[in-house]
Amino acid sequence: QVQLVESGGGLVQAGGSLRLSCAASGRTFRSFAMGWVLQAPVKERDVVATISWSGTFTYYTDSVKDRFTISRDNAKNTVYLQLNSLKPEDTAVYYCAANSHSYTRLYYSDYTYWGQGTQVTVSS
């Protein structure tokens, strides 16, 4: 099992940047593919970035490609999401999540372990 705790959210103006972190406990962290999942008000959770267990492979949805960067440091049991060129429509609760299968899993229901979420609010 793995426990996940996100941090780094906040209020930022459009065009700004934030760096989210997700600290994992448990020695099995490096066996999980990781994802960042957004949930905007009255919308379903949306997987926007994923990374393989080794960090070699990543995936981004079109809406965040070239603006967000996912990375991980298995020595620190941490996964990151760098958010650049933020837009008001990026406003959401950001969750990190783990699945034991593959970084190609793109549905939130594929993810077994979840953090509590961190709020990102982008003002116009």
What whole-number distance in Å separates Cα of residue 107 and Cα of residue 43?
14
Average pLDDT, the chain: 95
Q: What is the predicted pLDDT for the residue at 26?
A: 79
Asked if pLDDT for residue 27 goes beyond 80, the answer is: no
* Predicted confidence band of residue 68 (pLDDT cuts 50, 70, 90): very high
- In the DSSP assignment, the letter for residue 44 is -
What whole-number distance in Å separates Cα of residue 49 and Cα of residue 69?
8
Asked if pLDDT for residue 36 goes beyond 90, the answer is: yes
Q: What is the predicted pLDDT for the residue at 41?
A: 87
